[in-house]
Amino acid sequence: MSSMTLHIYDTMAGQKRPFTPLEPGKVGIYVCGPTVYDMSHVGHARVYVAFDTIVRYLRRKFTVNYVRNYTDVDDKIIKRAREHNEEPGVLAQRFISEFEADMQSLGVAPANLQPRVTDHIKEIVDLVERLIKSGAAYPVDGDVYFSIEKFPTYGRLGRRRIDDMEAGARVEVDMKKHHPMDFALWKAAKPGEPFWDSPWGKGRPGWHIECSAMSAKHLAESFDIHGGGKDLIFPHHENEIAQSEAASG
């Protein structure tokens, strides 16, 4: 790698910016991995080939710790498992194996770490507890929601204003919420769904809290690069920023 300054596109800034790692000589990168409920498609391939290329390039100059997760418990996984009369964990493992075979065929190297949500329930519960204690989240009937109105800069990544927002496709409108866009950190158990014990009763993690917990454990509360598909900018990455920053202060 030459001595020229490396510039990387910053979604928050909306432009390319000079890249300087937080710790000289080292780069921590977290990329949101697949929700394993179906076969991979060309969109997945594009994302992971792109980040594989980026990581290979960075490794010419830096020591890179690359973390890419598997979301192995989710509404879509549970729904697909019911359709196939299959245990959610078995279905998830089947599609993880398919994904890894696809990545190998594409020449995409494994990440340094490939954590799974179901192996990080304790970290997720601990993070949700911190958010409740900080006043950024609230429990209701076994569910726990993040209050977007407690995070004044919510919407900055996706360039959206709270007043203009409506509940999206992956958000269930629920009268228990303080605001329609408040999102679930923890979901109360329903019959036939996988669950874990928590201070709010049996349940499972919400979609967004998982990545905040895993990135903090395997990298740090602050790290250099967070990536993923463009479709994740809102709400997933927006919500990750809100809950991670609210928890870390």
Q: Is residue 16 part of a domain?
A: no
Low-confidence ranges of the chain (pLDDT < 70): 1-4, 164-173
Q: Is residue 11 part of a domain?
A: no
Q: Could you tell me where the DSSP H helices lie in 135-201? A: none
Q: Is residue 180 part of a domain?
A: yes
Q: Is residue 8 part of a domain?
A: no
CA distances from 187 to 151, 164, 194, 195 (A): 21, 26, 11, 9
Structure tokens at 126: 């601990």
The answer to whether the beta carbons of residues 107 and 45 sit under 8 Å apart is no
- Residue 173 is predicted with a pLDDT of 61
Residue-number span of the structural domain to which 130 is assigned: 22-248
- Residue 160 is predicted with a pLDDT of 83
Structure tokens at 109: 């190297």
Element (H, E) at 53: helix 42-58
Q: Is residue 2 part of a domain?
A: no
Structure tokens at 26: 């080292």
- Residue 162 is predicted with a pLDDT of 74
Q: Is residue 15 part of a domain?
A: no
Q: Is residue 1 part of a domain?
A: no
Give the chain's domain count: 1
The domain that holds 146 is classified in CATH as 3.40.50.620
> Full-prediction pTM beyond 0.75?
yes
- Residue 169 is predicted with a pLDDT of 38
Q: Is residue 49 part of a domain?
A: yes
